[in-house]
Structure 1
Amino acid sequence: MLSLYNRAADTDGRPREPRILGSNTVRLIRSISTHKRYSAKSPDLQYSYTVEYELKALPLEKLVRAAFVHLRSRAHSQQPVSCGVSVSSWGPARRPISSGGSVTLRPQDQWTETDITPHVSPQSEGHLSLGVQYQCAKDKPVKVAVGRGKGRRRTRGQPTSPKTQLRVPALLLFLEEEEGGAPRQRVESAITAARSVPRPRRSNELGNIGADIPNYTRKNSVAKNQCKLHSYRVTFRELGWDHWIIAPHKYNPRYCSGDCPRILHYGYNSPNHAIVQNFISEMGVGEVPPPSCVPYKYKPMSVLMMEKNGSIVYKEYEDMIAESCTCR
């Protein structure tokens, strides 16, 4: 999951462009039961796993795709792996579903995935049983030097130890979960704070009332402490969240601070309401405060975290990093 996270997000947790996952949430589902079986004829090359998963309380109606992650065996960590793969399951109508393909892992690859979306359905009744069969190519003999004494050396073929080349596969569910569907209330409260300000309408879409107020544009002045974006980095350890947030380690939400100018020009993207409020404040009509410097646009953030049940989840949260400021 950490490898998947590093592919999808940069060191600050911002999703890379273009987004490669195709969904805002990826859940690693742990199996509740696993059975391993070898072929009697060739125990080293043909083997299969039957894996069962509990899918209750998961929003399968939001499923974008499902994938089996094929994991390299530690005994073959530096060798190329080539295996045929056959996946089977039972559909909602109790009819068998089968799919096939192949798996190739280069020496530097630790895992690869196979799409198994047809095997996962919202009508799975909260339980999924998958069978996967591997048929892998034989290891090539390795030539090693042997001999006794000086000047006497010869070679012989020594095959690698007979080990299964792929471990029990893992199940990944790619989901487009609704915003606010976080598994922990602590995440909910943090995101609620980041969402406290709705995005205003762009002031130049339908015209700006400032252009119609007599003498409004003549009162131009530059604020000494001008409204702008500021950087602020904090670690999740400082927030006390490092025991359940795996990555990223640091967070730069950024914030808006400063004085709003007397003339809110188009560059501030202020709504007409803010322009009128600023004018009323300048005129001293009633006790109306001037507009405030607040975020205008936001960027999403990717988080890799651990749930209470030990599952690992990749999730993209919208509106987590301030990108620009406005006055309103």
Structure 2
Amino acid sequence: MLDLVFIFIFVHGCTSRPTENLGDIAITAEDPTQIRYEALRRLLKVFGIDDPPHSIHHIKQPPQYMIDLYNTIADADGVTKDPNLLEGNTVRSFFDKVHSDQLYFLFNLSTVTKNEKILTAELHLFKLKPRPTDYFNFRRHHFCQISVHLVLDKNKMHLPQGRKLLSSKLVPIYSPGWEVFSITQAVRIWNDDSNNQGILVTVRNLGGGPTDVNSIHFASGKDHHESKQPMLVLFTDDETRGAVSFSNQPDNNQLSIPNEPYISASNRTRMARAVQEDGHMPCQRHPLYVDFEEIGWSGWIISPRGYNAYHCKGLCPFPLGENMRPTNHATVQSIINALKLTQGVNSPCCVPDKLFSINLLYFDDDENVVLKQYDDMVAGSCGCH
């Protein structure tokens, strides 16, 4: 069975049952195909995905901006470096669908779910270096004013009544590179497809007069490499935070090796006897690698290729030392169990007491690239609870 069943380990703790009821279907050990199906379905639910995107090998390269953003907030395993670096928990990138030469852009936002709160929306345009023949037009100016408008009526978008100004800034004429404009107001208005009539960009010289649109060149999806295509970047939050987040910021040392609790000299003989008796070690963290290729998701997940979720396993024997990170309740339960004061009271469970978030960078069904952060996905350390 795939390691992905770790999710059930987290849910059901240290107890085990011969059968589990997953959804409305009773799963038995004699039905491995159904177990795999239900496990994958549950794992998709954890990642907030109803159906996996088509698992194909994408010819398109993900935008460099999205790759850089992922590398900024996540380590090699996708674990969040600092929870304060990302606004919200989802970043989506959309390519222009029009490929117009008239600085008119249209983005299909149908993959944005209704429960996502729009935080910030940015229009990214790559301004090309002027051609030698264009330098004559700018001999008196080194800057131009670029304005971004919400289109209210496509038939009148070049008239004042057919558009609404969103943002404007001065841009150096001779320097190529990315220019970013805020269009959050526009995306919030596009609460359904009928309101989405696109974005228009206009260019003026410093005297206020219109500049020849052919003199200022932006990369388009039609004529330039996809790495320079016009792009909308959308920051949202679907407000699906983890129910129990013991910690949001990992300790780099903890992420590299399992935590091994210190055992005092007075307890070593007792622990050695316990290990001899049933072959178990004291409560500690063990590796649990989730391989997206083995699961069958490598066709649409860009990064990471897999991650170490870790799991907790081991004894929580009486008496519980501080090295076991016990809760007060676990300490009392351990005492009651040791004294046999109440029948049916087990020893405390070895479970995660610190959880970290991970990030996925992936393609959706429309070939858009999505960066999403998921809480409580990595056991940072273990304790007796």
Aligned: 1:116 with 2:183 = yes
Instruction: Identify which of 168, 183, 191 aligns with 1:100.
Output: 168
Measured in 2, the distance between the counterparts of 1:198 and 1:35 equals 48
Aligned: 1:64 with 2:119 = yes
Measured in 1, the distance between the counterparts of 2:172 and 2:308 equals 39
- What is aligned with 1:174? 235
Measured in 2, the distance between the counterparts of 1:296 and 1:123 equals 42
Compared with structure 1, are the counterparts of its residues 276 and 105 closer, same or farther at alpha carbon in structure 2 (3 Å cutoff)? farther
| Deviation by residue 1:195-244 (Cα, 9 ceiling, x = unmatched) | 7x9578xxxxxxxxxxxxxxxxxxx7353422112234443212222112
Q: In structure 2, what residue type is equivalent to 1:287?
A: G
| Deviation by residue 1:242-291 (Cα, 9 ceiling, x = unmatched) | 11211112301112122113123445443333223222221234233211
Q: TM-score w.r.t. structure 2 length?
A: 0.56
Q: In structure 2, what residue type is equivalent to 1:303?
A: L
Shift in Å, 1:32: 4.1
Measured in 1, the distance between the counterparts of 2:143 and 2:339 equals 77
Q: In structure 2, what residue type is equivalent to 1:175?
A: T
Instruction: Identify which of 352, 372, 377 aligns with 1:295.
Output: 352
Compared with structure 1, are the counterparts of its residues 325 and 233 closer, same or farther at alpha carbon in structure 2 (3 Å cutoff)? same
Compared with structure 1, are the counterparts of its residues 121 and 302 closer, same or farther at alpha carbon in structure 2 (3 Å cutoff)? same
Which runs of structure 2 are paired with 1:200-279 in the superposition (5 Å)? 221-222=267-268, 223-224=271-272, 225-279=281-335
Which runs of structure 2 are paired with 1:26-65 in the superposition (5 Å)? 26-37=91-102, 48-55=103-110, 58-59=113-114, 62-65=117-120
Q: In structure 1, what residue type is equivalent to 2:192?
A: E
Measured in 2, the distance between the counterparts of 1:315 and 1:261 equals 40
RMSD: 3.8
Compared with structure 1, are the counterparts of its residues 247 and 35 closer, same or farther at alpha carbon in structure 2 (3 Å cutoff)? same
Counterpart contact for 1:75–1:165, Cα < 8 Å: no
- What is aligned with 1:216? none
Counterpart contact for 2:91–2:233, Cα < 8 Å: yes
Shift in Å, 1:49: 2.7
Counterpart contact for 1:294–1:325, Cα < 8 Å: yes
Shift in Å, 1:95: 6.8
Counterpart contact for 2:150–2:200, Cα < 8 Å: yes
Q: In structure 2, what residue type is equivalent to 1:5?
A: Y
Which 4+ stretches in 1 moved above 6 angstroms?
A: 104-107
Shift in Å, 1:62: 0.8
Number of aligned residue pairs: 254
Counterpart contact for 2:300–2:362, Cα < 8 Å: yes
Counterpart contact for 1:49–1:133, Cα < 8 Å: no
Counterpart contact for 2:353–2:379, Cα < 8 Å: yes
Q: In structure 1, what residue type is equivalent to 2:123?
A: F
Measured in 1, the distance between the counterparts of 2:267 and 2:172 equals 66
Shift in Å, 1:173: 0.9
Measured in 2, the distance between the counterparts of 1:33 and 1:325 equals 52
Instruction: Identify which of 71, 83, 104 aligns with 1:6.
Output: 71
Counterpart contact for 2:286–2:310, Cα < 8 Å: yes
Counterpart contact for 1:270–1:326, Cα < 8 Å: yes
Name the SS for the 2:358 alignment partner.
strand
Shift in Å, 1:300: 0.8
Counterpart contact for 2:362–2:370, Cα < 8 Å: yes
Aligned: 1:164 with 2:217 = yes
Measured in 1, the distance between the counterparts of 2:111 and 2:180 equals 23
Counterpart contact for 2:356–2:378, Cα < 8 Å: yes
Shift in Å, 1:51: 2.4
Shift in Å, 1:94: 8.3
Higher normalized helix content (fraction of residues): 2
Shift in Å, 1:64: 1.1
Name the SS for the 1:221 alignment partner.
helix
Counterpart contact for 1:70–1:113, Cα < 8 Å: yes
Name the SS for the 1:35 alignment partner.
coil
- What is aligned with 2:55? none
Aligned: 1:132 with 2:201 = yes
Counterpart contact for 1:105–1:111, Cα < 8 Å: no
Measured in 1, the distance between the counterparts of 2:369 and 2:289 equals 25
Q: In structure 2, what residue type is equivalent to 1:22?
A: E
Shift in Å, 1:3: 2.6
- What is aligned with 1:325? 382
Instruction: Identify which of 352, 367, 370 aligns with 1:313.
Output: 370
Measured in 2, the distance between the counterparts of 1:82 and 1:234 equals 52
Shift in Å, 1:54: 4.0
Q: In structure 2, what residue type is equivalent to 1:14?
A: V
